[in-house]
């Protein structure tokens, strides 16, 4: 007789995931990726970007360089307040270290393996079952 598999969420804790996008000045990506790594965001995608607005718009907003680094990563929902605070502190360091961050919830994923990879699920996150006393 074949053993019936239980749904993953019946034996493991499920964390809602969010896509985090951080835009910083060119050359700043490595320090942001380090900050994210320290806060359990282990998979980051860094893209190079360039602004397309007219130069006078950048002058009005006080934006110097048009070249940007854009970092995409997936985080667990409960990590966002911690990451938000850490990014805010980093953005306050100097004019050159300023940036912007935005999150978007991920509503659906294509399977448990993808969830485990994106959410950095570890073995120790299995739900603990407590046996009643006397058993």
Token pair of 105 as six digits: 């919830």
Q: Give the per-residue pLDDT at 131.
A: 47
Q: How confident is the model at residue 98 (pLDDT cuts 50, 70, 90)?
A: confident
What is 15-122's CATH number? 3.30.70.120
- 117-132: per-residue pLDDT in tens? 777 776 545 555 444 4
**Rounded mean pLDDT, 68-94:** 92
Q: Give the per-residue pLDDT at 132.
A: 47
CA 24 and chain centroid, separation? 15
Domain ranges of the chain: 15-122
Q: What is the spatial distance between Cα 18 and Cα 133, in angstroms, rounded to a whole number? A: 39
- 27-77: per-residue pLDDT in tens? 899 999 999 999 888 889 999 988 766 666 666 655 556 788 999 999 989
Q: How confident is the model at residue 15 (pLDDT cuts 50, 70, 90)?
A: confident
SS3 58: helix
What is the gyration radius of the CA atoms in the chain, in angstroms? 20
Residue 86 to residues 43, 67, 70, 122: CA-CA distances in angstroms? 18, 23, 17, 24
Q: Give the per-residue pLDDT at 50.
A: 81
Q: What's the pTM?
A: 0.73
């Amino acid at each position: 007789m074949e053993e019936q598999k239980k749904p993953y969420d019946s034996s493991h804790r499920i964390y809602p995931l969010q896509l985090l996008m951080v835009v910083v000045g060119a050359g700043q990506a490595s320090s942001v990726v380090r900050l994210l790594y320290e806060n359990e965001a282990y998979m980051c995608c860094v893209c190079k970007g360039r602004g397309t607005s007219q130069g006078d718009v950048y002058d009005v907003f006080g934006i110097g360089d048009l070249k940007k680094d854009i970092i995409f990563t997936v985080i667990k929902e409960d990590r966002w307040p911690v990451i938000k605070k850490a990014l805010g502190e980093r953005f306050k360091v100097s004019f050159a270290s300023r940036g912007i961050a935005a999150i978007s919830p991920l509503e659906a994923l294509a399977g448990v393996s993808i969830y485990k990879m994106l959410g950095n699920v570890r073995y120790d996150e299995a739900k603990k079952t407590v046996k009643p006393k006397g058993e």
